[in-house]
Structure 1
Amino acid sequence: MSGSVEASGDGSIAAGGSIRQALTGDGAVAHFVETSLTLPPEALELPLEAPPHMINLPGRTGLFIGREPELARLDSAFEDTGGVVVQAVHGLGGIGKSTLAAKWAAGRTGSYNPVWWITAETPGDLEAGLAELAVALQPALRDVLSPQARSERAVRWLAEHEGWLLVLDNVSDPADVRRLLGRTTGGRFLITTRRASGWHGIAQPLSLDVLELPQAVELFERIHGGTAEGVEELCAELGCLPLAVEQAAAYCAEARITPDAYGELLARRPERVFASTAEGADGEQTIARVWRVTMDRLADTPVAERILRVIAWWAPDGIPRTYLAPLADAPEVTEALRRLAAHSMISLREDGTLSVHRLVQAVARAGEGAEEIYDEAARLLVVQGLSCEDDTVWMGHVATLAGYYDMGRVPPELWALVPMYLGDYVPSHDQTVELYEQALERSERFLGPRSRITVVVRRRLADCCWTAGDHDRASQLLSKNLTATSMVFGHKAPETIETRTALARLQLQRGDLGNGLSRATISARHAERTLGEDSAEALRAHAVMAEGWRLKARAKPRRSARMAVTKIERLLEKAVRAQGEAGEAPLHLMWTLGEVRETAGDLAGAIRVTEDYLHKRPVPDDGADTQGLLARERLDGLLRKAGESDEPAVGG
């Protein structure tokens, strides 16, 4: 009621407003009377058809650039006749999903009626949008039915009609629209969403990527009002993300600054730049706001935000999933990656890597506690650098991380490893050796001569010295490593066994057959007892032992060849038990055994082993069977030699 009223006498009644309440004068009895409404006749039945040219679309098509393949895919998808057709355009926030949907829908106003846009970020938004659709279909219902009743009325109308197009914009969860989609049997739905997954069985997904660079430049210049120097560089730095390009162009135009100046602001304070818009622009449509909404939805998976903030310091592409393993248990990491990918914050690749948009990285780097996260990202790279399988990938991430701070912020462990891996990027051996020397000097100074990092660096330098022909230096480094690993890890540890095997191989190559074979035998014995006969270290040591016996047989065939055959045959038996007859280790030993049998004068045995080798070795898929050609050449030579000596071609 707009004011208070009173009943002054016995049995008198005071009335207020629409007489929703009546009160007797003595206040003893209160009566509540609801307002009575009379529904218009049209409210009792659904309209037979929609009013002509019933269109509700946002004005987002004026700045539309490119996207011809995606528009063509939508054309093709909606050509299907019969039943309801649902397309879900998904992608990173700010990538232009809504703009694409508005552009396509605006071109179909002559084919569908109504063409209706509903913001559907939440179930409440969807219900409100459907309620407005009901009012547009029957204006007399606006003040008659509740919003819930109007929403239900719109769904009923959609279920009984065809020829309409509904755009459901920014759907957060497929479950929010599943019931609506299930109740309609005709018509068309075009959905925009950041959710890349969850659409199976209800919609056909269409992934949307960033603009091509020329298209991003065109978009910037159209908003900016002309060309400007540095536009291409800025658009590339923005990753050609449409919303970021629009935001930057409008800001540059209003602030009267160049693209280069905007790029400098972006480098210094990305969190402020991505939260800023030009006057009159939609403050909700900024990079920072759009992605913060997504991360809020992932708050129940804290590992997801931690992963996003860590990878923000690495290169945006080719991030091995294995690099993230130390962050949490495997199921937690997998679940976090799944959810990040589902919300289009990252992309998971078939090769076991992931990628992230560089602007997502920029926003993630700007969060609270950035330096602590940087240190964590650096430590993870240190762990990977110790057993790096792909130096190029690892070095790319290290170079990106090191570029964000001066070298004083880089942890000593990583600082020691970096120059070592730079060796692959310089042309000469002298420069490579110099870089490795720098890495070893730093590692020994900061971490000590026996740290795990120092051992790895010293080993790489030893390999480089051997390749460069400095065999004495390589031997000294490996000997020092053997002492360090024995003291730090123990003489039976894998690190020590591997170092001893490497030193044994080096000694054999230098002609020190006695010490080399002795070290290899010790390594093999320790590896078999500690790690097992089928361990990689044991098989490596066996290969070096076989090489030692081959060299001894060649040096003194009369004294050593027969013994060498016996020793290598025993090693071959172990390798077959470990890997099978066609394994890499058995095949390598068979090759060596064939040569040693020939040295011992057993041509028949050498022929038999070589034929067996040819029969069991796999043929490469690419057809480049160089080793097979060498084996056939060896076999031809053995057969000729046997014929010349009248020795039987088959040994006993």
Structure 2
Amino acid sequence: MAHDPTTRGGAVAHNSVTGGTHGTVVQAGHIEHLVVQQGPPPADEVTVAPPWGRRGTPLRGRDELLARLRTAHGTHVLYGLGGVGKTSLALEAARGFAAGGAPVWWVAAQDSGRLAGGLRAVARRVGLREDELAAGQTADLLWERLGALPGPWLLVVDNADELALLDGPGSLAAGTGWVRIPAGAGGLVLVTTRDGDLAAWGAGPALHPLGALPGEEGARVLADRAGEEAGPMADAEPLAVRLGGLPLALDSAGRYLASVTERPAFLRTPGEPATYGAYLAALGTGDLAVDGDGTLARIWAMSLRLLRDRGHAHAEELLRVLAGFADAPVPLRVFAPERLTIPPGELWSCLQALDLLGLVSLRADGEPVVMLHPLVRDAYRGERERLSAELAVRVEDPKALVPLWPLLVPHLLDDLGPGVDETGWTGAVRAVRSLSARGLVLEAVERGLAVHEGAARHLPAGHRTVLAAGCEYGDALLASGREDEALHVLDRLIEESAAAAGSDELLVVRARNLRGVALHQCGDLEAARAEFTALIEGESRLLGDDDQQALAARANLAMILAQLHRTEDALAEMDIVLAAGTRLLGPDDRDTLTTRMNRAWILRELGEAETAREEAEAVVEARGRRFGPDHPDTLAARFNLATMLDPATAHAELAAVLDARTRVLGLDNPVTVATREALERTRRTLPG
């Protein structure tokens, strides 16, 4: 019997086909049952495209180094103070490579997820297959493949400020980490970082310190932003020197002056600096450096004062709130009214004003998001209050968050540790559930383990959030075909819940539902049937017949009855589930589509082959339209449909499903293995 599990929310989908051969296609034994959570179509979690659209002015004062980089090879490190222009220089170098037709990949390195995900994406771009990536030697294989590429090419690793992340599977200094020296002579690796520690980087890379711009070049940066209205270049140069030649400070000051000078003089606030000289005088008379004496804080203070003068009294409050999120775009819809005293209209205009002055980056196309400048975030780090999980969890209608989950996940999983309260762990559990619902099974397993273990360490035994975290982890394990591990996790979870006073009965029901699925995937049909039968009897009293967990148990029992050749009883049970699901959730809900596919299989077992095939085709079309072609639900439906087709068509469809599952889950995943075995059995039935 071949197993083809997909997992979602509170239940595991099983496409089940048992018995011998129907026609010339061997069936695969699988169960599908109800979905508890919904999710949007799968979305890419990383991009390796350079940020060509980044707003900027001409690069100043780096011509000599830029020329060297455009003809260089090997690994080069640009290091220096935040805001010194490292990323701008790397982007300008990338433009040169791209203009010459060379491939350019850009990997963000602010955290381990984006770094590893970006490098895996690069690995796919240079030809590595999913089964090679799944073998656990991604770093070695990536650098072997990069070293064999004909040049030129460019790989940028941006914002690699935490060098420990670059160790990856080995050691950065020893040349066995995520960043290495490419073997070939045509490739360039360019890393931007604040850390220029020679010992940490090792002997291989060439390190280039980026310092302050000289007065004349700094003045040009000011003029690029502020324009001619702010005064002559002779006045700009003393201000550039006073600002320490730091491009970020120069850019911020230039933006400020531009925002003032664009208005007629009679509309300006008295004393508001509108020229280079006036701005310099406003900074005070003490010597200003850029390495910790508060220059940027003074610049930002002037910008905030300007905003207050323009009626944006809550600008700093907004910056402090944004500092409570991860270093990633924040969707505006998560802001809780009780956390902010700013009316929605004023909130938007305040964000626009902050964006104009360069303190935040606001993107209004599509889903509105805002991202705090990392240096501004650093300024509030000491008083940062972790708000992201609380804000997201307090949204009254969870369905409103469905399009936001790809954006919310980095925030909900950010900075998990002893200081995170119950609300924070609840948000993290929801993030893991989102990963599973969107078909990101392998990441859901990895994150699910971390959240489950973390919640268990920091919350009391038997706490409902610990139980919820364990359910999500077990759910993800089942989706990845690791049913033995899932059964172990769920058994322990149920045992601990029984020993703890006041455990959440609804979550215990879900854990038992998942345990029944694990038993079925392990092949113990009688144990699974007994578990689901007991659940249906108990849940009907506790929850009511229309509860989704009760319906999930009934759907799972129906598929087991079908496998035990009690197909009439199975169809009766499945009809109950389908009627309730359609009434409660709608005909195209994810749960309802799962039930329809299960029912199609039972119909085929009853001899209604044509009706079963038509229903299966409808489910494949609906899932593909809603979730995308590579979502595990869509692939499971295509697998089941293949068992209802003629041999030649079935063989082609199974080959396509195998290719997609290898790409999504890896070569050795049990679900992929089951698909490969089904394809081989089908191949043997073909003539010739």
TM-score normalised by structure 1 residue count: 0.44
**Structure having greater relative contact order (Cα 8 Å, sep ≥ 6):** 2
Q: Which has the larger radius of gyration?
A: 1
